[in-house]
Amino acid sequence: MILAITAIALLVAMAMTLLRAILGPSIFDRILAANAFGTKIVLFLGVYGFLTERPDFLDIALLYALINFITTLAILRFFESGVLFVKSDEESN
């Protein structure tokens, strides 16, 4: 029961994060939201594993915890090289 409540709370938080990712307004807000969504999924997978009494799903959560930040680094790298940010649009102020 409590596990179910936790799962639902995480789902609601995911929905809010999703809203932020869609609303933006800047690209950084979207990346922040996507990153936070990753954390939420990690926790959700853990809770879901316990909810269905199969905690062996933890490997997937562990994988996300380990490599979810690689994409953020890739974004920084492309930023440094100036390829993706040359065309600044609505968020340039």
Q: C-beta of 63: minimal distance to other proteins in Å?
A: 5
Number of residues that bind other proteins (CB under 8 A): 86
Interface map 3-42 toward other proteins (x if CB under 8 A) = xxxxxxxxxxxxxxxxxxxx-x-xxxxxxxxxxxxxxxxx
Q: C-beta of 53: minimal distance to other proteins in Å?
A: 10
CA 5 from centroid of its chain's CA atoms: 21
Q: Which of the residues 44 through 83 are near other proteins (CB under 8 A)?
A: 44-48, 50-52, 55-83
- 35 contact partners, CB below 8 Å, separation of at least 6: 68, 69, 72
Looking at residue 50, the DSSP 8-state letter turns out to be H
In one-letter notation, the amino acid at residue 44 is: F
Rg (CA), the chain: 16
In one-letter notation, the amino acid at residue 17 is: T
Q: C-beta of 54: minimal distance to other proteins in Å?
A: 8
